[in-house]
Homo-oligomer: A and B are copies of this chain.
Amino acid sequence: MIQIVETELPIEAVTQSVMQELGGAMGGLATFVGTVRNHAQGHQIQHLEYSAYKPMAEAEMQRIAEEVRERWGVPCAMAHRLGLLQVGQASIVVAVASPHRKEAFAACSWAVDEVKSRVPIWKKEVATDGSWWVEDPLKNPLTTPKADS
């Protein structure tokens, strides 16, 4: 299961899908859920705006899941949320089921790294002192709202 959503992340459905795929051969399930932090590099975050090149993002997530299956022989499922996310809300879930726990952890951690480095999704941090695209090589605040408090 690979999904990009604009509403709440289907965490339960993602974990269930890998558990059902592996069935009784499963010994362990490793899950990662990423959430919006309240601060980043000294800035107080108000919210995040996620956007994507959706068809490619889905294709790239599918490729990552297939690479997990090739490398570890186990199922991987994931979902990513787009749109405006508040502090504390979940943006990504990645789940890997495996007969053995070491492989579950290794494959899940690897898949999260790959999503962050390859999948065409972008986020703009909106902080109390400006907003900017995360990973923007220029990283100048795009807007600097006047503080009224």
Q: How many chain copies does the complex carry?
A: 2
Q: Which of A65-73, A97-105, A123-131, A137-145 is the contact stretch?
A: A97-105
Contact A30 B32 (CB under 8 A): yes
A7 within 8 A of B: no
Contact B31 A26 (CB under 8 A): no
Chain B residues contacting A29 (CB-CB under 8 Å) are 31-35
A108 within 8 A of B: yes
Shortest CB-to-CB span from A3 to chain B, Å, is 19
Contact A32 B104 (CB under 8 A): yes
Contact surface of A with B, Cβ cutoff 8 Å? 15, 19, 23-35, 37-39, 87-88, 99, 101-102, 104-105, 108-109, 112
